């Protein structure tokens, strides 16, 4: 595909949803007029809504009214009541995809058309979800699998900080919505009761003069059960449903996540790095602890003493020197 065309990345949507509500009935003729669609298409969309779990009442005289909604992440459910300026204003939703990061990358690399900063790609299910270090990321239905596309005017020096920022955003969102304290395991695993509820994968595209785009991929175990995940990670994973004991509204989580993301991303743009790193440290489960980090080519031991402005972890080694580690995995 050499030219980006919105058609190639047509988001799944049910446009009629924007005109229906729980509060009042709307007549079919009015819907036809508003959406410039024939009655048969309106009926088809009502059917599609019902198949997606919406309970829609239809009355010959009064028209249609929503009785109840499922836990849906259709674009309207996310954008409705969203108060951000740009994060989440454009939503590409797919019931099933390979990986939202892959789709977001294709969109970012599309020539001839640039989607706005803050565009989201979200899906109910990923078939080839990507984790860190080339690992697979299990993404069964019920989770929140989304990617946010950014065009940061920053040198690559600060890219690690975007990942840390995203971890703070998720931790804040969970705390505000569910009053649950989370911990961040460096660099970007969000834990509840020592079990992973969210992972973040940041990818970027560069051109000669710097960064062209950044994709922040966020995977949250939400309404899925940890028993649906591969056996080897079941015990170390947890979902929001499991921790709260009830089904959560994913669209509500996504909306607050967008709001928090925009707030922190604006701080990043204003170079107010320390607000981000201080907040990150308040959630960290490694600062002040003796840990081992696998950097890919070696394992380094030391005490985690700080995070610097570019998201690097500062380790005080047994020889007394301070090492900066930009990427790696904490072993213990
Ligand atoms: C990790 O290994 O902890 C990072 C996991 C990141 C998963 C998310 S889900 C949405 C986005 N799309 C992907 O394929 N991966 C990220």
Expressed in angstroms and rounded, the spacing between residue 219 Cα and the centre of ligand 1 is: 5
Domain 15-68 identical in fold to domain 75-283: no
Ligand 1: does its nearest atom lie under 6 Å from the Cβ of 100?
Answer: yes
Taking domain 290-330, whether its CATH number is 2.30.30.100 is answered by yes
Expressed in angstroms and rounded, the spacing between residue 199 Cα and the centre of ligand 1 is: 6
Q: CB–CB of 173/256 below 8 Å?
A: yes
Q: Specify the pairing of strand 120-123 against strand 91-94.
A: parallel
Per-residue pLDDT, 2:
39
- Checking 132-141 for CB contacts under 8 A at 24+ apart, the result is 132/188, 132/199, 132/201, 132/329, 133/296, 133/329, 137/99, 137/199, 137/201, 137/219, 138/228, 138/229, 138/230, 138/233, 139/219, 140/224, 140/228, 140/229, 141/224
Q: CB–CB of 75/119 below 8 Å?
A: no
CATH of domain 15-68: 1.10.10.10
Diameter of the chain measured on Cα atoms:
82
Q: CB–CB of 311/158 below 8 Å?
A: yes
First to last CA, the chain: 45
Q: CB–CB of 196/237 below 8 Å?
A: yes
Atom of ligand 1 minimally distant from the CA of 143: 9
- Integer Cα distance of 258 and 37 in angstroms: 32
Q: Which helix (H) or strand (E) holds 257?
A: helix 250-269
Q: CB–CB of 119/113 below 8 Å?
A: no
Residue with CA nearest ligand 1 atom 15: 130
Atom of ligand 1 minimally distant from the CA of 133: 2
Expressed in angstroms and rounded, the spacing between residue 190 Cα and the centre of ligand 1 is: 12
102 φ, ψ to 5°?
Answer: -65, -45
Would you tell me the crossing angle of helices 250-269 and 159-178 to the nearest 10 degrees?
Answer: 140
Q: Specify the pairing of strand 290-294 against strand 329-330.
A: antiparallel
Q: CB–CB of 299/331 below 8 Å?
A: yes
Q: CB–CB of 154/292 below 8 Å?
A: no
DSSP codes of every residue in 177-218: HH----EEETTTEEEETTEEEEEEEEEEEEETTEEEEEEEEE
Lookup: tokens for 145: 């699998």
Ligand 1: does its nearest atom lie under 6 Å from the Cβ of 217?
Answer: yes
Expressed in angstroms and rounded, the spacing between residue 105 Cα and the centre of ligand 1 is: 13
Q: CB–CB of 172/267 below 8 Å?
A: no
- Mean pLDDT in each 10-residue stretch from start to end of the chain (332 residues)? 53 94 96 96 96 96 97 96 97 96 93 87 97 95 98 75 95 97 93 97 87 95 97 97 97 98 94 93 94 92 92 92 90 77
Expressed in angstroms and rounded, the spacing between residue 17 Cα and the centre of ligand 1 is: 29
Expressed in angstroms and rounded, the spacing between residue 97 Cα and the centre of ligand 1 is: 13
Expressed in angstroms and rounded, the spacing between residue 200 Cα and the centre of ligand 1 is: 5
In 273-317, at which residue ranges do the beta strands (DSSP E only) sit?
290-294, 299-307, 313-316
Lookup: tokens for 133: 């270090």
Ligand 1: does its nearest atom lie under 6 Å from the Cβ of 129?
Answer: yes
pTM recorded for the entire structure:
0.93
Closest Cα to residue 268, out of 220, 211, 322, 315?
211
Expressed in angstroms and rounded, the spacing between residue 147 Cα and the centre of ligand 1 is: 8
Mutate to test the pocket of ligand 1, among 184, 199, 229, 250 (most ligand atoms within 8 A of CB): 199
Pick one of 3.40.50.2000, 3.40.30.10, 3.40.50.2300, 3.30.930.10 as the CATH number of 75-283: 3.30.930.10
Burial of 272: CB neighbours in 10 Å, binned 0-12, 13-18, 19+: exposed
Mutate to test the pocket of ligand 1, among 135, 138, 139, 142 (most ligand atoms within 8 A of CB): 139
Mutate to test the pocket of ligand 1, among 129, 221, 330 (most ligand atoms within 8 A of CB): 129
Ligand 1: does its nearest atom lie under 6 Å from the Cβ of 82?
Answer: no
Ligand 1: does its nearest atom lie under 6 Å from the Cβ of 221?
Answer: no
Per-residue pLDDT, 8:
65
List the chain domain ranges. 15-68, 75-283, 290-330
Residue position matching structure tokens 């009042």? 24
């Amino acid at each position: 595909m050499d030219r980006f065309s919105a058609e190639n990345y047509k988001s799944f949507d049910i446009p009629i949803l924007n005109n229906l509500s729980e509060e009042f009935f709307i007549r079919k003729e009015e819907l036809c007029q508003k959406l410039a669609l024939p009655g048969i298409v309106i009926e088809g969309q009502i059917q599609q809504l019902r198949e997606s779990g919406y309970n829609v009442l239809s009355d010959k005289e009064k028209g249609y009214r929503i009785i109840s909604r499922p836990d849906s992440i259709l674009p309207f459910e996310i954008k409705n009541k969203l108060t951000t300026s740009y994060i989440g204003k454009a939503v590409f939703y797919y019931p099933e995809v390979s990986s939202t990061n892959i789709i977001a990358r294709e969109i970012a690399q599309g020539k001839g058309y640039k989607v706005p900063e803050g565009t989201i790609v979200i899906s109910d299910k990923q078939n080839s979800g990507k984790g860190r270090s080339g690992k697979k990321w299990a993404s069964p239905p019920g989770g929140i699998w989304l990617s946010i596309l950014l065009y940061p005017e920053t040198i690559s020096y600060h890219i690690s900080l975007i990942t840390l920022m995203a971890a703070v955003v998720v931790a804040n969102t969970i705390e505000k919505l569910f009053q649950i304290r989370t911990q961040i395991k460096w660099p970007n695993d969000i834990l509840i009761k020592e079990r992973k509820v969210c992972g973040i994968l940041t990818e970027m595209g560069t051109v000669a003069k710097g960064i062209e785009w950044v994709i922040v991929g966020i995977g949250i175990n939400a309404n899925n059960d940890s028993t649906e995940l591969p056996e080897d990670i079941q015990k170390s994973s947890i979902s929001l449903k499991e921790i709260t004991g009830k089904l959560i509204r994913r669209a509500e989580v996504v909306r607050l996540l967008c709001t928090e993301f925009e707030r922190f991303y604006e701080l990043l743009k204003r170079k107010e790095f320390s607000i981000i790193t201080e907040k990150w440290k308040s959630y960290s489960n490694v600062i002040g602890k003796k840990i081992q980090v696998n950097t890919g080519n070696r394992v380094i031991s030391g005490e985690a003493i700080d995070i610097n402005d570019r998201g690097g972890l500062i380790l005080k080694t047994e020889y007394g020197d301070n090492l900066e580690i930009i990427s790696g995995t904490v072993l213990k």
